[in-house]
Every structure is written in C-alpha cells, then in structure tokens.
Structure 1
Amino acid sequence: MRPDSPTSTTSPTPPLHATPSPFAPAPAAPGPAAAASPALAAVSTALAAASAVSVLAAPEPAASASPAASVAAIVRIAAPSSPVAAAGRRAGVAAVVAAVLAAVLLAGCGGAAERGGATSAAASGDPAGKAGKEALVAAVKALGAGSYAYTMRIDEGTVTGVVDPGGKRQARLESVASGVGFTLEGVVLGGGERYFRTSIPAAGVSAKKWYRFDRTKVTKTGIIGLFETSDPTSSRDLVTRVGAVTLDGARISGTYDLTHGGDLGIADRAAVVALGERAKVAPFVVELDAQGRLAKVRITVPAYGSVAERTLAVDYTDQGRPVQVTVPKAGEVAPATAAVYNLLNN
C-alpha cells in the first residue's frame, strides 16, 4: 500500500508494496477455463462490470465457464492489437482472479512439520516421495495456522497482501489490460469493517477513494474474494496437484499438474492441449523455512508453440508475526455508492 495514504494499526510488521508483474501474458488460443481463482475472479469480474457500463468501450463478452474465460474475452476485445491478440490469445487474467475463489473452495490439509529432521526421499528409499508429500502437507497446514505476508507473481499480474487467522486481510492486485495498468485493493478488519479501492475506470467509482462497504449488500465474491479468502495464494493446490516428489533437506521438488487452472495452473484449454502430457508433469520447487513452513514456491510452465517458458512464483515472509493492515485515512474514505455495489456485484 502507498505509505503516504493510509494510516496503520499498531502491529509492527512493515507495510507491503506491490511490484509490477515481470510476466508478460502468454499467448494461446482461447478456450473454456478450468478452475476459478481469487485473483482471476477479481480481475475478470471487475473488468466485466466496467465493460458493462461501456467504460472499456467493448461489447459484453459471451457467457463463459469461469471468470478466467470472461476476463480473457474482455482483454481480447479491448486489446486487439496487443501481443496477446497477435500471438493467439490465452485465458489469462482468469488465473489471477480465479485463484481467489479456488482458494476459498479448497479443502484443508493436515500434518506437522520439522525442517531439521528432513531427509532426502530418494536417498531413504522412498521413490514415491511419501516423505516429501508429508512435508508439503505439513508446510501448507503450518502456513494456514498463522499470520503471514505474501507476494504472488503469476501470468496475470502481481498480488501482495497479508493474512491473519483472526480475520484481518489485506490484498493488492496489479495487472494490465489493453496495455493499461490497473489495481484492485481491499482491506478487511474486525467488526465487519471492509474497504475497497480500484483504478479501473468504472463510471461513478473514483480511483482516489477508499469505499467502505456493507458486506451484506455484496452478493458476489468475484472481486472481494481477492482479499477475503483465507488462502489467497492457493497454497492448498500444492497438496492436491503434485505428482512425483523428492525431499532434500528444506527443498521439495517434483512434478505438478497445471491442468486444473487457478492461479497456480493454466485455465486455457487450448494451452493445455498444446502442452500435452507436459502440462501434468510441470517441474516445481518448494523451499521451507526453519520451522518447516512454506517460504518459496516456483512452478515452471514449459514452453509451447511460440510461448516461452515462464515461472509462477510465490514468496512468503513475516510468518507468525503480528499482521499490519493499513487503514485508510478518514479523508480518503467514502461510503460505498450504488455504482460501487454495482461493480462489486457485477
């Protein structure tokens, strides 16, 4: 968050600063998306709502199987001359926004972790990677049990935020559509206090204002899921989508199935087809911290056609420390208007 705008609570953790995504959109033919994700859902829903009021000067996209597909449709319409269009577009923003929703729907994981006693699964005669999978399950559970900050860099942009098991949340998404950067940000505090801000040019919505909204008046989670979800980085996907796994000290590596979509996957069916079996055995590496919790996640998306190899990355910091959620200054806050609720409810 910008240090000159909101004031912060008394928690000691320094505020997070979002950074532009280093990942350019990967072109591929459009196709129905697989699974929705928080980031993907937020972007697609917001852009769809803006498109509906002719802000993007583009016709409303046809109904699709997921937020990812609808976002991709909007981007295709709004940016016909972009590299995405030129190379044969893919269902992109769906990954960022869809990840939020996917995380909410994922089931919990169990286990306890200790990094110090970890041994190589391959060296201990465990070809199936049982030890590695158990360490991964434990790491994901440990992450979800406490507070943490995160930075997630995926195809559709960069998401930064903080999570507290007590209910405090803050998230900021930076993405690009039609060559123009935009942001979505949200803050969740105790007692039902929630704020939303976006730079998407929607009629009646100011990019300079934080809108305090009534959660009971928001019936859709496409946008607010970005900052309400308890698993904004889709960490639980790691447990359900890994194949062969090797544990070597604090490093877990192996294969990962990209075909289920979401933030840590590929939503575009055409891209999945182009990758073939490689989409189900993508290389991944997870690094654990001294307490056996997730520290870094790297998933490699292999090259296909004219699309270069790329990496989906998540970094976790400040685990177990008090979370600082920045609170907007009173002069920057306005009650949510009908236009804001229309945007949030698409």
Structure 2
Amino acid sequence: MSGAGSSAEGQVHEPSQSAEMRVLIGDASSDLSMKLDLIHAKPDSWVKLELGGKSASSIPGAQKLNLGKYQHLDQTRIKGNKALGFDFDKIDPAGSEVLTQGITEVRQTGEGTYAGTLDVSKAAEAGSVDQSVITALGPQAKSVPFTAKLDPQGRLSEMVVQIPAAGQNAAQDIKVTYSDYGNAAAAQKPPADQVVEAPKEFYNLFN
C-alpha cells in the first residue's frame, strides 16, 4: 500500500495465523519519520521501531524507542490500532474489504478492470486515509473515484483510490496491490535475545 505520506508491504500466512509487515511513515525530508518492522504470530506481536527526522530526538523517551530490537506488544494496548495490530479473525490487509463496502457506483472498463466511486469515509475505518482528510473533503467524500483490477482467478490485485485536493491537503492516490496468493510462508518469530517488552513511551507515541 502506498499514499498519504506512508507505505507498507508484507505477507499474511493464514494457516499459521502469522504475518510480517514493514511500514514507513514519512520520508527523509519529514520532520519525523518512522520505520516499523512488525511480526505477528497470534496471539503475539513484535515491532522494531526506527525513528528519523530532525524532530525524532525531541520525542519523550526517544532513547527508549530506537533500540534496534523487537519490542513485544501488549495486545490489549494496541487493539484497534491499524498501524500496530492485526486481526486474524477478520483478515483484511490494507483494508480493501472495508473500502469495497463503501462503493457507490462501479462499471467494468475492460477484462478484469473496473472503475467507479466510493464513499471514502469508509477509508478511516480501513486505516488508509486520515480522518482529517475525509473531514476536509466534506460532501466530496461521498463520491471519490477509484479503479480496480482482478487477477485471472477473479481476486483483487490492485485498487487505486483517487483522493481529490481539499483544504490544506494536496490530491493523492492511495494504491493497494496484492500478489502471490497462496505463496506466503509462516512468519518467523524474532530470537529471544532480540526481544524486549515495549515501554510505556512506545504506547504513548501511538495512542
């Protein structure tokens, strides 16, 4: 998934109830950037956090966060957090299923290709668009253009939501792609000597 100043990639292995995700929020030019290396193996989750940007050192407890180790997460403290959590009871990486529930119009444009509009207010629940962007869109949020592609087996392979400019926010595309269905491997848990418990400063940063 890419767009909205962030990108993410990973794999989900349903048989073992495990997943690996790499998330980048911001870039080298940002005041603050975050690189998250996440491993989920139900019921546990771990994250290795790397902070960057000129504002990184001013974050409370920053020296406890940039550890170069995996921090074990308390599931009760990240429940519902789209960046940190993973729901193996309702697997929807990148929130595409939630987005499709907001489709208001769709038409086939070719073999396995589609276009239409959707109510992007669903995107906040999906975790792909910040609520402030949706609020700035106002009535436009009810009818935002999108395109989608299916693979030869009829499975979603790409979805692009074209967010128009609104308020202080520039126009942007949110792009989600899926590939290698059935080829994922079980995620490997981090070695015990590379794991620490996440400190309260970590939860304060994301809550």
TM-score by length of 2: 0.74
Q: Distance in 2 between matches of 1:199 and 1:225?
A: 14
Partner residue of 1:61?
A: none
- Give SS of 1:228's match: coil
Partner residue of 1:267?
A: 131
CA contact (8 A) 1:209 1:334 kept: yes
Aligned-residue RMSD, C-alpha: 2.8
Letter in 2 for 1:186: L
Q: Distance in 2 between matches of 1:155 and 1:309?
A: 9
CA contact (8 A) 1:297 1:315 kept: yes
Matches within 5 A, 1:166-185: 166=15, 167-176=17-26, 179-185=31-37
Partner residue of 1:320?
A: 182
Partner residue of 2:69?
A: 209
Shift of 1:281: 1.8
Higher strand content, 1 or 2? 2
Q: Distance in 2 between matches of 1:224 and 1:187?
A: 14
Aligned pair partner of 2:48 in 197, 210, 215: 197
Shift of 1:342: 4.9
Q: Distance in 1 between matches of 2:66 and 2:166?
A: 41
Aligned pair partner of 1:344 in 180, 203, 206: 203
Matches within 5 A, 1:86-97: none
Aligned pair partner of 2:99 in 238, 259, 264: 238
Residue by residue over 1:8-52, the C-alpha shift from the partner in whole angstroms, topping out at 9 and shown as x without a partner, is xxxxxxxxxxxxxxxxxxxxxxxxxxxxxxxxxxxxxxxxxxxxx
Q: Does 1:289 align with 2:154?
A: no
CA contact (8 A) 1:266 1:272 kept: no
Shift of 1:324: 4.8
Higher helix content, 1 or 2? 1
Distance 1:336 1:301, change over 3 A: same
Q: Distance in 2 between matches of 1:237 and 1:223?
A: 15
Matches within 5 A, 1:54-133: none
Partner residue of 1:221?
A: 79
Letter in 2 for 1:299: V
- Give SS of 1:319's match: coil
Distance 1:310 1:212, change over 3 A: closer
- Give SS of 1:219's match: helix
Shift of 1:174: 0.6
Q: Distance in 2 between matches of 1:158 and 1:204?
A: 25
- Give SS of 2:101's match: helix
CA contact (8 A) 2:22 2:35 kept: yes
Q: How many residues align?
A: 186
Q: Distance in 1 between matches of 2:49 and 2:85?
A: 13
Distance 1:303 1:326, change over 3 A: same
Q: Distance in 2 between matches of 1:219 and 1:306?
A: 32
TM-score by length of 1: 0.47
- Give SS of 2:26's match: strand
Shift of 1:284: 0.7
Distance 1:193 1:258, change over 3 A: closer
Partner residue of 2:196?
A: 335
Unaligned runs of at least 5 residues, structure 1: 1-151
Residue by residue over 1:188-213, the C-alpha shift from the partner in whole angstroms, topping out at 9 and shown as x without a partner, is 225x4432211245342333111235
Partner residue of 2:59?
A: none
Higher RCO by CA contacts (8 Å cutoff, separation 6 or greater): 1
Q: Does 1:250 align with 2:112?
A: yes
CA contact (8 A) 2:164 2:171 kept: yes
CA contact (8 A) 2:107 2:115 kept: yes
Letter in 2 for 1:209: K
Partner residue of 1:5?
A: none
